[in-house]
């Protein structure tokens, strides 16, 4: 039962990681539309954390990356940072989860997986006495 719960949690973590990568890359964080005096002239604006895109009613699209990070609104700057931190934490968490599950730890398993590095030090320091 524990093994199945572990696999389910790992699958959800990987699914969440992939979703975060997808959210990071898509330019559709804010979508606005402009409709001119006639319906033929329309534009849809997509704004993301890395670029903005304009899509004409003819189907032609044009995307442009932001020129300067400092020129961005504060909420976009914060969003960029939080998404990057989320991706990094996800990678570390998935890596430590796999490492912790694959190794053997005397006693109980630690959440961080650091026991693989700390256990030999603990044994050496207590065997000297």
For 99, the domain range is 2-127
pLDDT tens track for 4-42: 888 888 888 888 899 999 988 888 888 888 877 776 668
For residues 73 and 90, the answer to whether their CB atoms sit within 8 Å is no
User: What pTM, to 2 d.p., does this model score?
Assistant: 0.62
Nearest to 102 by CA among 118, 113, 88: 113
For residues 122 and 106, the answer to whether their CB atoms sit within 8 Å is no
pLDDT tens track for 76-103: 889 889 999 999 988 888 887 777 665 5
Q: Terminal CA-to-CA distance of the chain, rounded, Å? A: 41
| Per-residue pLDDT, 123 | 43
Helices 74-102 and 2-25, axial angle in degrees (round to 10): 150
Q: 78: which residues sit within 8 A by CB, 6+ positions away?
A: none
CB burial of residue 32 (10 Å; 0-12, 13-18, 19+): exposed
Into how many domains does the chain fold? 1
């Amino acid at each position: 039962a524990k093994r199945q719960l572990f696999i389910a949690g790992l699958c959800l973590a990987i699914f969440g990681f992939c979703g975060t990568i997808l959210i990071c890359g898509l330019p559709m964080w804010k979508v606005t539309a402009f409709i001119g005096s006639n319906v033929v002239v329309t534009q849809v604006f997509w704004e993301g954390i890395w670029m903005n895109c304009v899509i004409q009613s003819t189907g032609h699209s044009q995307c442009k990356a932001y020129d300067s990070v400092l020129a961005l609104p504060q909420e976009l700057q914060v969003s960029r940072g939080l998404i990057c931190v989320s991706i990094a934490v996800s990678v570390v968490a998935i890596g430590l989860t796999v490492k912790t599950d694959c190794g053997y730890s005397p006693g109980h398993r630690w959440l961080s997986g650091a026991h693989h590095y700390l256990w030999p030090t603990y044994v050496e320091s207590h065997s000297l006495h």
